[in-house]
Amino acid sequence: MNSTVSVLLFGITRDLTGQSTVSVSLPANARVAELLNQLHQNYPALASIRSLLVAVNGEYAEADQLVHQNDEIALIPPVSGG
């Protein structure tokens, strides 16, 4: 059974998609890696970001972490500054 998760976008990820939030349909027991794969399919420009991080419920997530429908998910692009 698929579930839909909302993903918050910031910085370049928002610019590349033209949206601040996107919805992604995932199979049950999906992991962060599957979420990223689906995002890359839906928004190919995101694949050009090499060091994209994912936060789940305010914590940085590893590729094998499970994603649940009510989780708060955010894409964290690389940041540069001085």
The full set of domains in the chain, from first to last, is: 3-76 (3.10.20.30)
* pLDDT by position in tens, the chain (length 82): 788 999 999 999 999 999 999 999 999 899 999 999 999 999 999 999 988 999 999 999 999 999 998 899 999 998 765 5
pTM of the model: 0.90
How far from 34 is each of 1, 19, 37, 47, CA to CA, in Å? 15, 21, 5, 13
